[in-house]
Structure 1
Amino acid sequence: MRLSAPLALLLTLAAPANAHEIGAWAGGSAAPAERSEVAVAAIDDKAYVIGDYNGATELLIFDLAAETWSKGASFPYPVHHAMAAGFEGRIYVFGGYTNGWNAVGNSFAYDPKTDAWSPRASLPTARAAGGAALVGDRIHVVGGSVTGRGNTPAHEIYDPATDSWTKAAPLPTPRDHLAVQAVDGRIVAAGGRVDGDPGRNLDATQIYDPKTGAWTEAAPLPTARSGSASAVLDREVYVIGGESREKAFGTVEAFDLPRNLWRALASLPTPRHGFGAVSYNGRIYTLVGSPQPGGDKSGTVEVFKP
């Protein structure tokens, strides 16, 4: 079933943001190394930064309570545009690009107790620049690009308990560099781009309900963009930053799933793309990323306070 937003709502979403911005940003403790096109996930009060467009493999670990950094065991090989999620004390990493733009299906788990990576069952569709989100005890890997940067609508579900995969309903609008988050037991997929081209950014927002096994349309992302960071705070999905061919975005917009409504918030002080975000203790932490379109990098950390 496809849901169409009322005309009045669409007109509201298209209107410029109010001059008074909601929320505030503050600087955080910079990362010990500059990175971009990373995967970021959190468990047990720590955020993990995996991969790098420029080939760095060392794991960066950010203690969210102490706001301090440390390093962990290097990922098995250089990777960028991988997808990651945390579950029950482990970080799971899926796919990504290696050797330039070769999409792989490799999966790995990191155990902080042993500071070691171990292989897991391969992602059925080798891809990169998609999204991963935890719903219940399973991780959904959605969308992305295959080797050559063409899009795939693949939607596959990983069960950590059995180290196995199942296929689910494909993403209705295939795209990469999209924001994927879980809220209220459903998955929100917002924004992204066509075939790796930041000049072809999308405003699509689509919702997957595991109970029905179907996707539905939702109110479009007000600012079409890709390469954004995203996080869930107070049951809203925040889409932060991103890029086009011409610039990096500082735009921050949050989606209220029950109301099918987007709202604008205070802009990211350092516009970036290719970075990650996690929520912790009522705040959103944005980690590393590129302040320029393309392959730049930074160690920037900025924190959003609602």
Structure 2
Amino acid sequence: MVRKQISTKSTILFLFLTLVAAAALIFDYLWASSSAIHSNHLLTLTKDENGTRLLSGTFADLAAPLIQWEEMAPAPVPRLDGASIQINQLFFVFSGYRNLDHVHSHVDVYNITSNKWEQSFATPKEMANSHLGTASDGRYIYVVSGQKGPQCRTPPISQTFVLDTQTRNWDSFPPLPEPRYAMQSSPSLVHFNLFHHSGFQVVYSDVYMLDDKMKWHTLAPMPKPDSHIESSWVVVNNSIVIAGGTTEKNPVTKRMILVGELFRFDLHSKKWHVIGKLPYRVKTTQAAYWDGWLYITSGQRDRGPDNPQPRKVVADLWRTKLKL
């Protein structure tokens, strides 16, 4: 009787150990199989000298084809959180921060065909200095709401102004019913469709389309989340091209990560493509398109190829030949 009990216990123990070993093998196989697809973050985890987990600075970067950038005449001033509108070959770049303690109160105008920055002119004293909403009808530029002063601490305003780009004269416009902060006009009022990308104070990859029957449609998400107020875009050949921005924060350090890719959304196929890399990761850059060339200027760039955190506010102007 005793031998039978011992034999039974031995059998149970053997089966238990066999199951544990099998489970370990299965787990190891699934881990190895999924890591290549789902665990890029884990593959780039390292530890510093204090044993703190670190992620590679490039873990959020996406693969993209190599494109050539040409450096052009820089803007008269470095600029962060500015705004811009393009009318034909003229690229109007508004206000923004030079640094946290200094804001601009003028407009710089870049003539794309001559590759020269024209004479700057002042904005109205009552107009916001940053986080402006802008729109144009081809001659007049409407500047809506925004934030006045440095330090990014004052509440938004409701004042609205209109600029006659031919005479360079300003006029006031009826204010908004309520103040707004960092309003964004969409470049994609194409075939009665209105696109909205990203989110509010957090970043999303969701994309929605509003058709001419006032019905919303969910479209393919962006290749990665991108801030709605810190990226810039142009409409080119039935495509929306988006440059720069910020994506989800580093999950370990909780620090900001800038975007260094060019995204293209094809309005026909409703599909996203990563079409190239920017000269560096950058947020609040300003974009324009003319005669086959994409231009970007200003913004806050990264700390280097291996560090996507924001650092220097730049005045650089770059262009690349788009082949869509």
2:105 is the alignment partner of 1:66 = no
Task: Normalising by structure 1, report the TM-score.
Answer: 0.72
Check conservation: 1:45, 1:64, Cα contact below 8 A: yes
Note the alpha carbon deviations across 1:119-139, whole angstroms, 9 max, x for none: 112233421223113xxxxxx
Q: Could you say which residue in structure 1 is the equivalent of 2:240?
A: 237
Q: Which AA in structure 2 matches 1:87?
A: D
The alpha carbon displacement at 1:291 in A equals: 0.9
The alpha carbon displacement at 1:230 in A equals: 0.9
Check conservation: 1:272, 1:290, Cα contact below 8 A: yes
Q: Could you say which residue in structure 2 is the equivalent of 1:40?
A: 84
CA distance in 1, matches of 2:189, 2:74: 28
Q: Which AA in structure 1 matches 2:231?
A: S
1:130-209 alignment runs, 5 A limit: 130-133=183-186, 181-192=188-199, 194-195=200-201, 200-209=202-211
Q: Which AA in structure 2 matches 1:234?
A: N
CA distance in 2, matches of 1:92, 1:295: 31
Check conservation: 1:288, 1:299, Cα contact below 8 A: yes
Check conservation: 2:301, 2:311, Cα contact below 8 A: no
Pair 1:32–1:185, CA change in 2 (3 A): same
CA distance in 2, matches of 1:95, 1:249: 26
The alpha carbon displacement at 1:49 in A equals: 0.6
The alpha carbon displacement at 1:295 in A equals: 7.8
The alpha carbon displacement at 1:204 in A equals: 1.4
Identical amino acids, percent of aligned pairs: 21
Q: Could you say which residue in structure 1 is the equivalent of 2:169?
A: 116
Aligned-residue RMSD, C-alpha: 2.5
Partner-residue secondary structure (3-state), 2:96: coil
Partner-residue secondary structure (3-state), 1:201: coil
Q: Could you say which residue in structure 2 is the equivalent of 1:268?
A: 278
CA distance in 2, matches of 1:125, 1:71: 34
Note the alpha carbon deviations across 1:282-305, whole angstroms, 9 max, x for none: 221112111145685210111121
Check conservation: 2:257, 2:310, Cα contact below 8 A: no
Q: Which AA in structure 2 matches 1:109?
A: V
Q: Which AA in structure 1 matches 2:237?
A: D
Q: Which AA in structure 2 matches 1:69?
A: W
1:6-17 alignment runs, 5 A limit: none
Q: Could you say which residue in structure 2 is the equivalent of 1:219?
A: 220
The alpha carbon displacement at 1:260 in A equals: 1.4
Q: Could you say which residue in structure 1 is the equivalent of 2:314?
A: 298
Q: Which AA in structure 1 matches 2:190?
A: V
Pair 1:49–1:296, CA change in 2 (3 A): same
Q: Could you say which residue in structure 1 is the equivalent of 2:28?
A: none
Gaps in structure 2 of 5+ consecutive residues = 1-36, 38-60, 248-254, 303-308
If you compute each CA radius of gyration, which structure gives the higher value, 1 or 2? 2
Q: Which has the higher helix share?
A: 2
Q: Could you say which residue in structure 1 is the equivalent of 2:55?
A: none
The alpha carbon displacement at 1:220 in A equals: 0.7
CA distance in 1, matches of 2:120, 2:215: 39
Partner-residue secondary structure (3-state), 1:277: strand
CA distance in 1, matches of 2:266, 2:62: 16
2:99 is the alignment partner of 1:97 = no
Check conservation: 1:42, 1:91, Cα contact below 8 A: no
Check conservation: 1:22, 1:266, Cα contact below 8 A: yes
Gaps in structure 1 of 5+ consecutive residues = 1-10, 134-179
Q: Could you say which residue in structure 2 is the equivalent of 1:151?
A: none
Q: Could you say which residue in structure 2 is the equivalent of 1:173?
A: none
The alpha carbon displacement at 1:59 in A equals: 0.7
2:84 is the alignment partner of 1:31 = no
Task: Normalising by structure 2, report the TM-score.
Answer: 0.68
Q: Of 131, 145, 153, which residue of structure 2 is paired with 1:81?
A: 131
Q: Could you say which residue in structure 2 is the equivalent of 1:171?
A: none
CA distance in 1, matches of 2:92, 2:81: 13
Check conservation: 2:158, 2:179, Cα contact below 8 A: yes
Note the alpha carbon deviations across 1:186-241, whole angstroms, 9 max, x for none: 2221124x43xxxx3211111122x2123321111111121111111121111111
Partner-residue secondary structure (3-state), 2:189: strand
Note the alpha carbon deviations across 1:21-52, whole angstroms, 9 max, x for none: 16432222210111110111011310111121
Q: Could you say which residue in structure 2 is the equivalent of 1:165?
A: none
Check conservation: 1:181, 1:230, Cα contact below 8 A: no
The alpha carbon displacement at 1:18 in A equals: 5.2
Q: Give the aligned length.
A: 241
CA distance in 2, matches of 1:221, 1:101: 32
Check conservation: 2:297, 2:317, Cα contact below 8 A: yes
Partner-residue secondary structure (3-state), 1:232: strand
